[in-house]
Amino acid sequence: MKTEANQSPNQDPDSEEAYAEDTPLTWAFGDTPKVKIIAALLSEAERDINISDISRLSGVSRSAIYEHLDDLVELGVVTQTREMGGSTLYQINTENEAVEKIAELESIFLNQWCNDEVKITPE
């Protein structure tokens, strides 16, 4: 787990290591907020989730998510699905061609990673 001293400025300091901290996507494309948000939403592709859940899964602060989510919605990668209890819910857009390719890449990287074809070393 990262300590506060070496956490990225966009990571939520109150969270344990988030799912998106160590995925094939973040390993291949870097641990930028947008990559982490996409990785988190891909991990929950079957359901829509709120900003707090995206933050928890991605390890990105809520304020950083708000900074980047509109771009991902505009690109069609993420969709706003509904309002529930005053919160907007979001979901990865599995009908978007780019998302299909990203998921395919994640799968390829994961297979390589699991088969030790690629050696991934934590920072």
Question: Above 90 in pLDDT, residue 17?
Answer: no
Question: Above 50 in pLDDT, residue 5?
Answer: no
Angle 75-81-87 from CA coordinates, rounded to 5°: 110
CA nearest to 24, candidates 117, 120, 100: 120
Q: In this predicted model, which residue has the larger pLDDT, 121 or 52?
A: 52
Tell me the whole-structure pTM to 2 decimals: 0.79
Question: Above 50 in pLDDT, residue 38?
Answer: yes
